[in-house]
Amino acid sequence: MSEHIVSRKIYFSVFGALLCLTALTTFIAFQDLGPFNIVVALAIALVKASLVVLFFMHVKYSSRLTKLIIFAGVFWFFIMVSFTFADYYTRGWITHPHP
């Protein structure tokens, strides 16, 4: 299992994409998309983060184990968020069901 060397071309294209996306997210923040502002902002952040993780951190070329570990981290974060939110968003339900 020898390591994979990522070419400089890939690094520079990822770098370019990251800068563009940063500009894009700032630009979009000043447009009114109603409730979608936050969705778009998070989506862009997610794309940027994935680019960094996949290429700069070489995960695209890493073992299944590495991918599993990252997945576990993210998944556990979602467990924490979803169960906690499940409490907060159902608190009033027992007597007046949610509209």
Q: Would you tell me how many other CB atoms lie within 10 Å of the CB of residue 55? A: 19
Whose tokens are 């996306």? That residue is 21
Site for another protein contains 72 (CB under 8 A): yes
Q: Would you tell me how many other CB atoms lie within 10 Å of the CB of residue 70? A: 14
Site string for another protein, 7-26 (x = CB under 8 A): -x--xx--x--xx--xx-xx
- The whole-angstrom separation of Cα 60 and Cα 65 is 12
Binder among 36, 57, 60, 61 for another protein (CB under 8 A): 57
Site for another protein contains 45 (CB under 8 A): yes
DSSP letter, residue 6: P
Closest C-alpha among 47, 57, 50 to residue 25: 47
Task: Return residues touching another protein (CB under 8 A).
Answer: 1, 3, 5-6, 8, 11-12, 15, 18-19, 22-23, 25-26, 29-33, 37-38, 41-42, 44-45, 48-49, 52-53, 55-57, 65-66, 69-70, 72-74, 76-77, 79-81, 83-96, 98
